[in-house]
Amino acid sequence: NAGVTQTPKFRILKIGQSMTLQCAQDMNHNYMYWYRQDPGMGLKLIYYSVGAGITDKGEVPNGYNVSRSTTEDFPLRLELAAPSQTSVYFCASRGGGGQPQHFGDGTRLSIL
């Protein structure tokens, strides 16, 4: 009963490096999301997807890219990492209608 699985849990990057944060869900949910949480703040939406092959921008998409080739996976790519991208990243998924979003445990990312 894995739910939403995020890898890695922690990562330190140097400025200018790139990386992909992985997210997988086993609940057959069409809707998937990426959020970031800065210290002392609520979560902000980066990108979302309403199904395989369909993605769209959220509130804070700059510096990130996503893809959704399968229902299960929704990776988040950081190109040219910047210190401002130091944050905790959460992936979430939900079923249809008013179903709540289920979150992964988060990835703590530091850019130095």
Binding site for other proteins (CB under 8 A): 31, 33, 35, 40-45, 48, 50, 56-59, 88, 90, 92, 98, 100-103, 105-106, 108
**Considering beta carbons, is residue 14 or 99 the nearer one to other proteins?**
99
- In the complex, the smallest distance separating the C-beta of residue 25 from other proteins, rounded to whole angstroms, is 14
| Residue 33 beta carbon to other proteins: minimum distance, rounded to whole angstroms | 5
- Nearest-approach distance from CB 105 to other proteins, in angstroms: 5
CA distances to 16, 37, 83, 112 from 23, in Å: 22, 16, 22, 23
Residue 16 has, within 13 A of its CA and on its CB side, a CA count of: 0
Q: Are strands 102-103 and 107-111 parallel, antiparallel or unpaired?
A: unpaired
Q: Shortest distance, CB of residue 16 to other proteins, whole angstroms?
A: 27
The DSSP code sequence of 13-40 is: E-TT--EEEEEEESS--SEEEEEEE-TT
Between 16 and 51, name the residue whose CB sits nearer to other proteins.
51
- Nearest residue (CB) to other proteins, 43 versus 78: 43
Smaller CB separation from other proteins, 36 or 85: 36
